[in-house]
Amino acid sequence: MIPLKLTLKNFLSYRETTLDFRGLHTACICGANGAGKSSLLEAITWAIWGQCRAASEDDLIHSGAKNVRVDFIFHNNQQTHRVIRSKQRGQSSSLEFQIETPDGFRSLTEKGLRATQQLILHHIKLDYDTFINSAYLRQGRADEFMLRRPSERKQILADLLKLDQYETLADQAKDLSRQFKGQAEQLESSLQAIEQQLEEREAIAHQQDATQTTLSQLRQDQDTDQSQLHHLQSLKHQRHTWEQQLTFVRQQYQNLTQECDRLHQDITTTETQKQQLAAILDQQDQITAGYADYLTLHQREESLSQKFHADQNAHRQKQQHQQQLNQQIQELNLQIRQTQAQLDALRPQEQEIQQMLTRSTDVAEAVEKLKAARTRLNHLDQLQLDVSPILQRRAALQSELDRTHARLSARLDELNASEDQLSHQIATTPQLRQTVLQVVAEISTLEKKKVYQQRVQEKGLERRSFQERLQESQRRYEKQIAELTQKIQMLQVQDAVCPLCDRPLDETHSQHVIQKTSTEQQEIQDQFWVVREQLTVCERELQVLRQEYAQLSQELAPFEQLLEQRGQLEARLEATDEVYDRLYDISEEKKQLERSLSEGTYALDIQTQLQTLDSQLQQLNYNEQTHALARGEVDRWRWAEIRQAKLEDAQRRLEKIQEQKPQLQAQLDQLNQSLEELQTTSPLKQQLDAIESQITEIGYNLDTHNQLRTALRHAQSWQLRHQELTKAQEHYPQLCQRLDSLTQTLAQRQGDRETLNTQLAEIVKQLEQYPDTSRDIQSLEQRILQRRRQLDEHLSQIGRLQQRLTQLDTLKTQYQEQEEQVKTLKRQYRVHQELAKAFGKNGIQTLMIENILPQLEAETNQILSRLTGNQLHVQIVTQKAGKRASKRKSKLIDTLDILIADASGTRPYETYSGGEAFRINFAIRLALARLLAQRAGTSLQMLIVDEGFGTQDAEGCERLIAAINAIASDFACILTVTHMPQFKEAFQTRIEVQKTEQGSQLSLLM
């Protein structure tokens, strides 16, 4: 990756600036601390990978601006690319990826930020972690590669060497080897089953011959029973015909008997009704006289009912007027009592008010004391107004101090919980590894079952195809049997003709053709039963295969879940190393918080403000207790003010009472006079007297009316008897006519019944000539049905045996083919197993890393010797003895340790000074970058060194500059960043950065 042009807008300390890298080979970015030198390099990493030193992307936006934009153009793999990344404050960022064409830049942007980012990584073939561990020595992180664990160092080298493609090939080879192994094991188990089945062939052939002999004997017996059955069924049909005729005649005889009984009953009922009507007609004179008396009584009762209604109306009016008069009298009495009560209540009120007015002197003295207490309270209220803001400020500061303490305590509790959680997570790491091994074993088992399921599916498809062929044969045989049956029926009729030449057939030729056609039909019938048996067996096999396939599908259901679980578990194992670092950071932060809480060294500015406010409160000398006593004094004398208001109100009430007493007395006298007039001369009283006179004129007597009603109820029965007499006169002639008709019909029905009785005797004689053959027919049919079942069983058995023999022939061919497949699969399994080992981390990958490490070590020592004057030496170790290795047998484990030696011997990296450590880091990183730049196909063509020179003396700086110039020819662009004047003078090309009020500015010096 070779930078060409960088354009910034509102990025960190820059407002708008452009840096053109064309023509730059080795350049120094210089300027004061905080001027924005490293921001140029952070802009490149943010534009390409979306990562930089800022915790949040909003922190990248220049202060006061709303958005940020970085436009970076670079050359990579003979192509020019352009990346534009921008972001609005508070929103998600956007990313644009372009490629240069003869017509300008063409967009390659995918749908979504993540897809576009993956496309950029695909083109540059370099991720962020690999970049900062090789070509970019970040400020303060020059030891990035040295501080990584050995496994992480190997992974960085593997990524730079593009060894991930071998890992992909290894995984593919492993998957194929497992697949070939599973297929071979499945075929071997299938071969064993086929061998056992082939051993059954000879026994099946003997069983087929015996079954064929038994089948012929059963067919002969079946033909004899069938002829006997036809004769018995003919006799049964003739008897059934006479039985049906007998049943019909008996039903007619029974119907005539029932009709004769019904006619006898109707005649008896009609004669009874005739006698009843004659008795009623004999009493005609008596009923007519009683009915006339009833009508007279009914007219008298209607006259008394009219007087009763008039008398009731008069009494109702009298009651209403009486109620109105009583109501008016009650209202006047109520008003008189209320007026008298008001007059009586005024007297005690007048006495009470006069007694209250005698205490007015004591109340005046208490009012003066209340005024003095209120004056003192007003002074204290004013003082409280001056003190209240100070107290509120003090309460707010105290609350803020308490919140700070609570927040720190909560953070301490959170750290304790995180520490316990991380410790528990570390403790569960061995169990997690065991779980991973179990999941891998389960996945391997399910993969074998998956291969076997595929074989079951293929076998099911083959059986299904065979079943369809059998069904087609069955339909063809059915059609042929139907045609032959029709041909035989045509030949059995009289004057039959030859089906070929249409000539009449004599008896001899007819029997010959029938026999030949029957033989052909029987052969096709046998083949038909064989096909049916094969269909039955095929269906059973398909059912077994479906059940087996369903069971395998159920067992394979958790396969995808196990794959996902394996990925999650492996990710958790990889994250275990980060847990140790997090646990250390949490422990340090926890110690600092505990020290702050115990010593009280938090929120010191708030504690200072609280002390100042306490001194101000002491100067004002405000006492809340004194203020409360003053309020109590005012409350104690406040009754005088209330009592004074009551005295004034009592004086007004007394004057009002003296005005009301004469008015109430006059009102009482007027009400008494109105009551007397209402009871003597009022209109209501005169109306009541008139209604009394009207009731006397009506003269209604209730006893006389009740006696008349009783007599009318007794005479009401004559009305009913008169109605019965009228009906009897109307229905008597009709009953006489109906009785004659019923007698004639009965005589006719009795003659018909005698005729049917004679027919029944003749039918019974005919039935005696035909015996009942139902039991014989039933027994014979059961024997035929049982023999039919035996025939079907033997035919099915013959079909099964024939199909089994065919299957065994097919299995023999299949056995030979599968033997060849097993040999091929085993060979493929061994080949891919070796390929998986070769492509694995311990194969080609390890070999390539081990081949490049001597070159890396030699290049590092060459650069380090120039930087330190041959004082330091680096050794890279790829294997070391394990921790549990015994004295007799030492076990070596793979590693990537870097040993550093000086004149005093080999010692840990951490014991070297800052200047020495930087030289070591710089030498290793520079050697790694140079080595990768020399390899064919790599895209690493830029080297960045950010600060770190401040730890070097003058001689060390000269050696660093010499080392950079020595490798300059291996890189297309080398950028160094420093704030040291003596260091920047060593470079002819400088990019000077200055910080102004308008933001950081750039100037290029060549």
Binding residues for Zn(2+): 498, 501
What gap in Å lies between CA 287 and CA 281, rounded to an integer?
A: 10
End-to-end CA distance of the chain: 23
What gap in Å lies between CA 856 and CA 37, rounded to an integer?
A: 30
Q: What are phi and psi of 946, to 5 degrees?
A: -105, 110
- Planar angle of CA 696, 697, 698, nearest 5 degrees: 95
Q: At 893, which helix (H) or strand (E)?
A: strand 892-902
Helices and strands (H, E) in the chain, number of each type: 22, 15
| SS3 of residue 578 by DSSP | helix
Count other Cβ atoms within 10 Å, centred on residue 615.
8
What gap in Å lies between CA 387 and CA 646, rounded to an integer?
A: 39
Q: What are phi and psi of 283, to 5 degrees?
A: -100, 30
Count other Cβ atoms within 10 Å, centred on residue 129.
16
What gap in Å lies between CA 621 and CA 631, rounded to an integer?
A: 18
Please give the structure tokens belonging to residue 217: 């004997």
- Planar angle of CA 923, 928, 930, nearest 5 degrees: 95
- Planar angle of CA 312, 315, 318, nearest 5 degrees: 150
What gap in Å lies between CA 623 and CA 383, rounded to an integer?
A: 10
Q: Is the Cβ–Cβ distance between 759 and 256 less than 8 Å?
A: no
Q: Which of 281, 284, 258, 283 is nearest to 735 (CA)?
A: 281
Q: At what angle do helices 559-574 and 429-492 cross, to 10 degrees?
A: 170
Q: Is the Cβ–Cβ distance between 55 and 41 less than 8 Å?
A: no
**Count of alpha carbons within 13 angstroms of residue 815, beta-carbon side:** 14
| SS3 of residue 992 by DSSP | strand
> Which residues have a Cβ under 8 Å from the Cβ of 459 and sit 6 or more positions away?
545
| SS3 of residue 335 by DSSP | helix
- Phi/psi region, residue 31 (left: phi>0; alpha: psi -120 to 50; beta: rest), is left
DSSP calls for 355-419? HHGGGHHHHHHHHHHHHHHHHHHHHHHHHHHHHHHHHHHHHHHHHHHHHHHHHHHHHHHHHHHHH
Q: Is the Cβ–Cβ distance between 943 and 131 less than 8 Å?
A: no
Query: Could you tell me whether strands 942-946 and 136-137 are parallel, antiparallel, or unpaired per DSSP bridges?
Result: parallel
Q: Which residues are annotated as a binding site?
A: 498, 501
| SS3 of residue 974 by DSSP | strand
CA dihedral over 141, 143, 146, 149, signed as positive or negative: negative
How many residues belong to the chain? Answer: 1006
Please give the structure tokens belonging to residue 937: 């196909």
Residue for token digits 């590894």?
A: 433
Q: Is the Cβ–Cβ distance between 863 and 963 less than 8 Å?
A: yes
CA-atom Rg of the chain in angstroms: 63
Q: What are phi and psi of 337, to 5 degrees?
A: -65, -40
Q: Which of 779, 960, 859, 764 is nearest to 137 (CA)?
A: 960
User: Where does residue 859 rank: exposed (0-12), middle (13-18), buried (19+ CB within 10 A)?
Assistant: buried
CA distances from 880 to 895, 896, 898 (A): 7, 9, 12
> Which residues have a Cβ under 8 Å from the Cβ of 439 and sit 6 or more positions away?
562, 565, 566, 569
